Structure 1
Amino acid sequence: MELTVTAFLIVCPLIFLASFVDAVAGGGGLISLPAYFLAGVPIHNAIATNKLSSAAGTCISTWRFCKNKYADLRLAIPSVLVALAGSALGANIALITSDKILKITLLAVLPVAAFYVFRSKDMERKSSVPIKGKAKYAIVITASFVIGAYDGFYGPGTGTFLILIYTGMARMDIKTAAGNTKLVNLASNMAALATFLLHGKIIFPLGLAASVFSIAGHYLGSGMVMKNGTKIVRPIILAVLALLFIKIITGM
């Protein structure tokens, strides 16, 4: 596609906002991917270029979590490995999926992803019955592979899905779950990014510019405590989703 100044003006501020939201409350992908669509980027290129900017920003959040030792490496290492495989699989499926099917998939998946993001406050609940041993590994590794595949194929809501499963089903504490989520999400982003890179789907001028804004958003968001952050985040996501739905429906 031919890039215009308008495309940069649409994408870059929304990527900054998405990254800030993602670091504070999760669900930033519900803003970042639609940003590329709203700028007129073709769907396969949008998914691929979004991986570039998302991976750049996620590196910052991941580094800050690991620096503060908010990760269980015994669970994270196998989770990262299966997420790499799952994401590569999902990205390859996305490449052979037609634009029309992807648009229909978006219409079906976006409301589900948004629903889970809006319920993200449930992550704060702590279970009185911890899960240990093989059962915990099975839950975490299975979730990492399946959601890693989803991230490679599409992506928005990945971090939220992982944290909900890690805390709700695997009964991990919220800080460790968040740290492991960042490691797995970074791995799935990188695997998908490599796949799209090999197939020439990334729009580098736009993606690199957006990466700068993504890094800034993640850095500021990960260092800020917003007690009522979701009250601001949810209306923003809802507005962007509404615009995306209109654009997809009118363009089909």
Structure 2
Amino acid sequence: MTTYPFDAPDQPDLPIAGSQHRYPVLRIFCIGRNYAAHAAEMGNAVDTVAPFFFTKSAHALLQSGDVMAYPQGTQDLHHEIELVVAIGASVGLENPPADEVEIFGYAVGLDMTRRDLQAAAKDGRKPWDAAKDFEQSAIIGPITPAIDCLLDAARIRLDVNGAVRQDAPLADMIHDVTRIVAHLSGLYHLRAGDLIMTGTPAGVAAVVRGDVLTGSIDGLETVTTTIG
């Protein structure tokens, strides 16, 4: 029996819609600049050749419905609503065809961002880790099994205090899910437990303490949090 000098952290996981099982989270990959309008509002060029990505720790996960504590070290916390892909089996192939990409399900997520730290990192040509990968920065709703999902005509939307902040068709993504998974599987051995946050549409903005965020995608469970 393995022993540790302190209590090991709990395994991060997410609920599965319609099931008593939970989905154990291994890694979180995040696609950036995947909607042209969002890239433009941030003053960035669009890369149509390959997805741009960064990562978050699985321990950055916050359950939908829980309060997000306003994070330390920032005065400019932004919301980014995203479609989340949950991998269901090992891929490990370079550019696999669509029928070989095994996806467990989909969810709605919030990629919370310390925008002021991100801007400083960009100005200094430094990594974004402190801006993106911090406690409670990946807020994700229940996973809906892929067999129950029909997302071809779905829209993605975020309301803050009941007012629409972000709203766009998922079809606006520059790199679709198949292309994203194919690209990442050429760099990593994707495994069950890996999540991919697929980028955010235009309309990102700051939130403050007391704001209530509700994100939705047609056919999926909503994600919600209150900034505490």
TM (norm. structure 1) is: 0.27
Bigger share in helix: 1
Bigger share in strand: 2
TM (norm. structure 2) is: 0.28
